[in-house]
Amino acid sequence: MYGFKDLWTRAKTSLWRWLDRQPLLTATACLLAGIVCGYRIDAPWVAMAAAALLCVCAAIFMRTPLWRIFVALCILLVGWTLATRDKAGRDDEAHRFRALAQPQTYVCRVGPEVTVQPLRGHAAKHTFRAEKLRTEDGTFACRHLPAEVTWFGAAEEATGTTPQPGEIWRIRGSGRVRKKRNGLQYLALNSGEDRATRLAEISPSAWRARVANARRTASRRVVIGIETWGDIPALNQAMLLGNRHVMPPALRRVFVDSGTIHVYSISGLHIVLVATVLSLAVSACGIPRTYWVLVSGPLLIFYTALTGARPPAVRACLMALLYLAAPLIGRRPNALMALAGTALIVHALQPWLIFDIGCVLSFTVMGGLVAFCRPFCQAGQRLFRVARLTERANLSRAAGAKVHARRLNMLAHAVTWLSNSLAVSLAAWVASLPLTAHYFGRFTPGGVFANLAVGPCSFFIVVAGCLGVATSTVSEWVASCFNNAAGFFTWLMVKSAQITAAFPGANLRIKPWPLWAVWLWFGVLLVLAVWLRTRKHRPDGLAWLTDDDQ
């Protein structure tokens, strides 16, 4: 048992040595700290004095070179500048908008995603982000202030009658400057079918029009052979293409209560699954790993655009591209560095995303997987004694009992798969728990066990669905076979979610956690990650049993 002082010394030495080899991670942390300070601190000189004091302490006590401290300060100032510029631009445009008479006539371009929420009858609420919003007379234009338009009209998504991504519309309505939960201002506009006119449609040769046509074609091909399966076709469309508005509300509530609604949000999970399928296909073709990104990269970008290019999917696609491109530039693939590089690029271009709930959740869960997935898998294998099963199988094989050895090997593989699945689910859960408790006031322990079935099922659904779409151009019968397989795994996933949601205590509503509790939880996780990295493993008593000694 090591003393606290010895543990602190080893942890500090290991941490600084590790950060010394990972400069990108330090740069990302400095940029994010600068962005947070720029948005939240109104006294910049006091904050800068505190930062300078911390740098002096680092130089004296940590013996950090002065040039590294200077570079860290410069990156911190860059993040600070980006945040203060965006905040000042929002405040100025909000002040000028409040001086406008309401209602006004505006001209804007529809953003890349239009969310449709069905209402009573044939009506629906269409919500989209307005790009390049300005008044018709040109007296006001939005450059920093995000504009969100709520448009009421027909439920059918028909070109010319409802807003489509990339179209130019003239809308008349009233707007208000509001504040989100993160404290940042945005512009909210209300309009309707009788107060809006389409000015310009998308050119058929434009990439958005081609992607939209491809998405509609894929939506039809995904359900070939399973049209009579009730809600399963709609769930497959939501799973593979992100058509969340076709998902039945009752089933959506089931997945929310079971803590597995994330499988129907085109985000990191889907991009990772598609990237895995593409990597397996490219590897099977005999292409060296160095050039995988040249083949799978364009296909991954096309799939991201096909699913609507939502921000979580774009971030996950960028991370996958950085990870796959590492061998091409002579670097070893590193998930943590790909995550840090993605965060650096994303927040340098859009600093306000540091307070976006979806962005924070996606980066936090991915960080939890990178930090805890491997140690949790190793702990699970030690807990279930996988190594001893393997050793027993080797001993049985050496003794001539090949059938018994084969059974033990199968048992070892099954136990390994179960422990690894539980480790992945647990790593994602412990990382997202404080955020879901803080933002949504929910505690979902059932999600840990539901994801044991949902995770593998979602992988097979993506594989079978992609094969069904690909083979539908050659044979609809072959496509229907793959779609039936995807439908079966979707049905199995639905049943798992229903059983979990019906279990008492699987989903609890709690009082939202205060912010200090969230930071305390992440502090404990940081200490746990450092301890897992620096602790010394005791040797296994069966380590002397190797294949060479048999």
**pLDDT at position 546, please?**
43
**pLDDT at position 193, please?**
83
Q: In the listed set 93, 128, 145, which residue is the last one of a domain according to the structure? A: 93
**pLDDT at position 63, please?**
60
Amino acid type, 30: C
- Taking residues 463-473, report their average pLDDT: 82
Domain membership of residue 136 (yes or no) is: yes
Helix (H) / strand (E) containing 127: strand 123-135
Domain membership of residue 233 (yes or no) is: no
Share of the chain above pLDDT 90, in %: 0
If one counts the domains in the chain, the total is 3
Q: Are residues 87 and 150 in the same domain?
A: no
Give the span between the Cα atoms of 70 and 191, in whole angstroms. 51
Q: Let me know: does 482 contact 492? Beta carbons within 8 Å.
A: no
**pLDDT at position 384, please?**
82
Q: What's the chain's average pLDDT?
A: 78
- Taking residues 43-53, report their average pLDDT: 64
Helix (H) / strand (E) containing 316: helix 311-325
Domain membership of residue 222 (yes or no) is: no
Q: Are residues 33 and 108 in the same domain?
A: no
Helix (H) / strand (E) containing 115: strand 104-118
- In order of 193, 195, 273, 333, the CA distances from 121 in angstroms are 15, 20, 38, 52
**pLDDT at position 322, please?**
84
Q: Let me know: does 206 contact 165? Beta carbons within 8 Å.
A: no
Q: Are residues 106 and 198 in the same domain?
A: yes
**pLDDT at position 54, please?**
65
pLDDT tens, 492-512? 888 888 888 777 777 778 888
Q: Is pLDDT at 267 greater than 70 in this prediction?
A: no
> Which of 228-242, 258-272, 363-377 has the least mean pLDDT?
258-272
**pLDDT at position 16, please?**
58
Domain membership of residue 344 (yes or no) is: yes
**pLDDT at position 550, please?**
40
pLDDT grade for 541, boundaries at 50, 70 and 90 = very low
- Range with top average pLDDT, 45-59, 307-321, 417-431, 471-485: 471-485
Q: Is pLDDT at 1 greater than 50 in this prediction?
A: no
**pLDDT at position 545, please?**
44
**pLDDT at position 174, please?**
85
Domain membership of residue 396 (yes or no) is: no
**pLDDT at position 274, please?**
77
- Taking residues 513-528, report their average pLDDT: 85
Three-class DSSP category at 12:
helix
**pLDDT at position 271, please?**
74
pLDDT grade for 47, boundaries at 50, 70 and 90 = low
Amino acid type, 287: I
pLDDT tens, 118-129? 777 777 888 888
Domain of residue 70, residue span: 22-93
What backbone phi and psi angles, to 5 degrees, belong to 201? -95, 175
Q: Let me know: does 230 contact 223? Beta carbons within 8 Å.
A: no
- In order of 27, 179, 185, 333, 459, the CA distances from 337 in angstroms are 11, 34, 32, 8, 25
Q: CB-based burial of residue 345 (10 Å sphere; 0-12 exposed, 13-18 middle, 19+ buried)?
A: middle
Q: In the listed set 330, 355, 380, which residue is the last one of a domain according to the structure? A: 355
**pLDDT at position 58, please?**
60
Q: Is pLDDT at 453 greater than 80 in this prediction?
A: no
Domain membership of residue 52 (yes or no) is: yes
- Taking residues 157-161, report their average pLDDT: 58
pLDDT tens, 218-234? 888 888 888 888 878 87
Q: Let me know: does 74 contact 123? Beta carbons within 8 Å.
A: no
Q: In the listed set 333, 355, 377, which residue is the last one of a domain according to the structure? A: 355
Strands 123-135 and 147-154: antiparallel
pLDDT grade for 57, boundaries at 50, 70 and 90 = low
Domain membership of residue 507 (yes or no) is: no
Length of the chain equals: 550
- Taking residues 348-363, report their average pLDDT: 82
Residue 249 CB neighbours (<10 A): 8
Domain membership of residue 186 (yes or no) is: yes
**pLDDT at position 467, please?**
83
**pLDDT at position 396, please?**
82
Q: State the DSSP code for 259.
A: T
**pLDDT at position 549, please?**
43
- Range with top average pLDDT, 280-289, 294-303, 342-351, 398-407: 342-351
pLDDT grade for 543, boundaries at 50, 70 and 90 = very low
